[in-house]
Amino acid sequence: MTSLVIEYSAATQSLGALREAAYRLIGHGSCQIETVGDVHRCLIEPAPRRHRPDDELRSMFIDLVTDENLREKLATETAATRHLILALAFGALASKDDASSSA
Amino acid sequence: MARFQPADAFRVKRDDLELLPFRFERLAADRFVVSNVVGDMATLSGVDLRRLSNLDLDPSEPLYALAAEKLLVRRKDSPVILQLLALRLRSRMGFLQHPSQLHILVVTLRCEHSCPYCQVSRRSVDRELYDMSFATALRAVDVALSSPSEHLKLEFQGGEPLLNFDLIRQVVPVARERSIAAGKTVQFVITSNLALLTDEILDFCKVNEILLSTSLDGPADLHNRNRPRPGGNSHALAVEGIRRAQELLGADRVGALMTTTQASLNRVEDIVDEYLRLGLDGIFLRPLSPYGFAVKTKQFYKYDGRVWLDFYERGLRYILEINKQGRHFPEFYTSLLMRRMLTDRPTGYVDLRSPAGIGLGALVYNYDGKVFASDEGRMLAEMGDRTFELGNLSSDDYASLILSDRLIDLVDQSLTQCAPQCSTCAFEPLCGADPVYHHATQGDPVGIKPLSEFCARQKGIMTLLVRLLEESPEDAAILRRWAR
């Protein structure tokens, strides 16, 4: 099994999503990310004793990046709502704690 | 003057919609499971996931109906949805309002069994220096009673706790008296192999409403192979103990747990049948844990998570068939997960919590007065790793134990809500942090989840359950009943 190189344009691909995908690849391969000019270069070393064909590992990583891009978009678009739900859920607890500590 | 608004006013328009926070996991090339902040789940194709994410929904189509039902989208002018999600989230985390309900007293490390998978590193039967003293036990009771929970469970464990039954006999009445004075209720449990059970002990259990929890690994040949003792009669004594306890205390006052060894892997039907034969009310299919003699004797390494998942799935399908024949017989871990999946009741099971259940869910008082954040943490200490040791009964009280920097750091570090991979995992609302497992297997309480067998096992089980709920109405009806 040889190393794989997959490149993304730094103009359109976030580094954060690549890092998340690299983390999820652990166990299947190790991914080192270098940014050179306007390109993020992902150098993937297949994990020892894993017999996943190169094209399968490549597809897997590309799917992981696709998923992470979507997760990033969802997180950004719903962050304010998430914070509001958490504040509604646990804000009263914080108020209660404040009240009891100042009493 | 019109009394009602026109029908158009109630029609949802695409521009009125807003995404709610949700997470997803890829199950297959074109199949995803999505879940909202409280773990309501659905499966979607890739196209539908992208359409949902882009709010490319027609309010008259089934995808919109599904997204609205699962609280993945809302009308912007509907704040009640946010209040509902907040209320449900708060309810699910309600276990934080009742901390440290379980208190485990290790009354002795001595045991007359020599199980190669023993997680507690028992000591030989003749070394009485491994017994808890009465003074230490009373101190443990006082610390337990000073926790804020009104309803406590005191569990006597070992080793084999019946080897130090005199201590249990002394402690129970005092603990009951002090709990009444403190305005609290206490449920007592003895976790025993039942080999030393006598009529006198059973009478004591009956008078004091003590529950018995025992080990039963399956039919005689398998159980005796897994659980050797002098005479090779562990199974006969356990079965006799279960039957006598059922007769005298009641069928629901004695439960059993099994542990999956390599020898169990092809025997799941036999194991379930043995539980049925003995009239037990369900079974908990448990893998080996990476602690104590299970590691020293390399039992833990004899099968991997994938093999155990096959064992679990075969067992679950067999158990579902039994339920289809009219007998209510749950697999208990599945029941716990179904409750997490289908209800908002806070879980009492410490491994399915985040913040982690260490300390916050249970405290363990060792025979020598040392206090641990969990039973598994105590087992690690017996192997020389004191990471989960919180203090000592001779010098600590409840507050100093529960607010110790060590416990707070471990709980803080292992929150799944912000741990790598967990924080974006669709199964996170149903899952839990298990810092002791990850510390034991990876040297890191957070854990590298892509390499974690705990994570693989959880995802494997939950994926199977999602599939059964969606694809098999008869199985789904049984699983829903187990959630009640």
Adjacent-strand bridge partners of B371: B365, B391
B107 HSE (CA, 13 A, CB side): 25
- Least confident piece of the model among B117-126, B218-227, B356-365: B117-126
Please say whether the beta carbons of B187 and B137 come within 8 A: no
Please say whether the beta carbons of B141 and B152 come within 8 A: no
Adjacent-strand bridge partners of B32: B26, B44
Q: What is the DSSP letter of B213?
A: E
Q: What ipTM, to 2 d.p.?
A: 0.89
Give the rounded distance of the alpha carbon of B116 from its chain centre.
23
Nearest CA in chain B to A56: B29
B258 HSE (CA, 13 A, CB side): 33
Confidence at B294, pLDDT banded by 50, 70, 90: low
- Alpha helices (H) in A1-53, listed in sequence order: 15-25
Q: Residue B461: which residues within 8 A CB-CB, separation 6 or more? A: B309, B312, B333, B334, B337
For the entire predicted model, the pTM comes to 0.92
Please say whether the beta carbons of B166 and B195 come within 8 A: no
Token pair, residue A86, equals 């958490």
Nearest CA in chain A to B81: A85
- Interface test mutation site (partner A, options B89, B415, B455, max chain A beta carbons within 10 A): B89
Q: Residue A84: which residues within 8 A CB-CB, separation 6 or more? A: B82
Nearest CA in chain B to A62: B29
CA distance B325 to B343: 26
- Interface test mutation site (partner A, options B82, B417, B446, max chain A beta carbons within 10 A): B82
Residue whose token pair is 């005689």 = B220
Mean pLDDT of chain B: 93
- Alpha helices (H) in B325-445, listed in sequence order: 332-342, 375-382, 398-402, 405-413, 435-442
Token pair, residue B24, equals 């997803």
CB contact under 8 A, A70 and B49: yes
- Is the predicted pLDDT of residue B184 greater than 70, yes or no? yes
- Is the predicted pLDDT of residue A103 greater than 50, yes or no? no
CB contact under 8 A, A63 and B26: yes
- For chain A, the C-alpha Rg in angstroms (whole number) is 20
* A39: number of Cβ within 10 Å: 13
* B26-65: pLDDT as tens digits: 999 999 999 999 999 999 999 999 999 999 998 889 999 9
Q: Is A74 on the interface with B (CB under 8 A)?
A: yes
* B304-330: pLDDT as tens digits: 889 999 999 999 999 999 999 999 999
Which residues of chain B does A85 touch, with a Cβ-Cβ cutoff of 8 Å? 21, 37, 82, 85-86, 89
Q: Which uninterrupted H or E stretch holds B312?
A: helix B305-324
pLDDT at A102 (0 to 100): 47
Q: What is the mean pLDDT of residues B372-388?
A: 91
